[in-house]
Structure 1
Amino acid sequence: MNDEALLRYSRQIMLDAIDIEGQERLLASHALVVGAGGLGSPVALYLAAAGVGCLTLADADEVELSNLQRQIAHAQADLGRNKAESARAAAQALNPTCRVTAVTTHLEGDRLATAVANCDLVVDCTDRFSSRYAINRACQEAGKPLVSGAAIRFSGQLAVFDPRAPDSPCYACLYPPGEAGRDDEELRCAENGVVAPLVGLIGSFQALEAVKLLSGAGQVHRGLSTFDGLRGEWRHFRVPRDPACPVCRQR
């Protein structure tokens, strides 16, 4: 790191859990953020600000007026612009030394597998079960840690799945594919609403866990944390690995 970088990241370097070594690991790391909306906005901005050296932001949607209530990486001038491109510009404006790539098409199949294989960590900021299952499977196959978040109405949740840990469950252990009614439970902000600061809170939680994983600081979050925004209450649940899980049982 040069003098400018030492000054930029000085408040993190002061932390014993990160120090110079941890900051250098962040600068050498590559995170894939799938979804550049309500959750992806704070994730992209905080990871760029924290000094993650390379970010890939993937989103095929365009910025709409209703997004601006909560998707803080986008502004009025970005209406009609691809979200990944808009978030890329916002992240690079915040930290020009961060190398940010925008993927403006839907990541699926071989393209998703390749993107996951080429990064160090994945942050899932999508809002569909089908996307979450696909991302989870790709992370399990590539052996890459996955930081998963969700937010709807006044409720949010976060879980971290790390296939490098023998006892770590995967997303399919938490929400088994094909579970009765699962396909009918697609709760999305567009149809159900969400209070603006909630996505910032959960997205910031995701960014924190990503920084810890990439820098080596602290202990990785385990289990499932849920937040009730109307009551201001957090709850934590243990999530054991399912030995019959169709995704991670072969690990």
Structure 2
Amino acid sequence: MGKNRNFPKPSVDQDWLEGCYEWAIGLDGVRPDSQKILETVRMQLLKSSLSESMDSTDGLPKGIGHLNSNLTLSGVPTLVEILSVSEVGSSAFQLDQVRKARGERLRAGGYDEHGEGNEEANLEGEEAKEEADLEMEGEDGTTQFQAMEYKTIPQLSLAHTPLGFKLQLKEVRFICGVANLEPDNVILLGGESDLNQHRDYYLRQNLRERMGLPNEPTPEFEDVEGENDENGGAGALSPPPPTHN
């Protein structure tokens, strides 16, 4: 997990890393200085919020998301996470109807927990991507920016990409503060963050804003604490939050 290996930029916050390590070695079957502990810490990082797990001093250039920002990233890949995702190729009304229909299908058992099901039963508006039409908001833990698909990235979609999904940017062009993403300039890592527990709420607010409707009242989200799981799966306890002096 060193600076020049898996996640060279931004650096992993040392307090978070030490707390995660201490948590991980308390799990059954995880020994210090083993490959298992490296895998466990990596999995927890992919499930973390980068605002908690990353150092705030050496990520993306400050102000990169400003409208007058035009540059191409250089050097080692930069780790970021997706905070929101939407489609620009469909109307907000159409997307909202698809969202509601997917919810009904999920409640009826037509999809599994990942939104996957019988391909022949896919809803209208959920066909396989053919064009680059996603717009996203991303963050390296400190600096937020807007992004768009310049060329289609098949693994990313409105229906299946979780909030907090991690990817690394390499030689990405920022034009007017917007990152232009394509398969050749990103490394997809996966993962999610706590934001994804309330993904439908955030998607609804995005669509309501696009339709000119007021936001819904902000609900009081409850944190659900699950069982200890060294694989970082659903219900896993997160590492203790880092302490900053």
| Larger RCO: 1 or 2 (CA < 8 Å, sep 6+) | 2
Alignment TM-score, normalising by the size of structure 2: 0.27
Q: Max radius of gyration: which structure?
A: 2
Alignment TM-score, normalising by the size of structure 1: 0.26
Higher-helix-fraction structure: 1
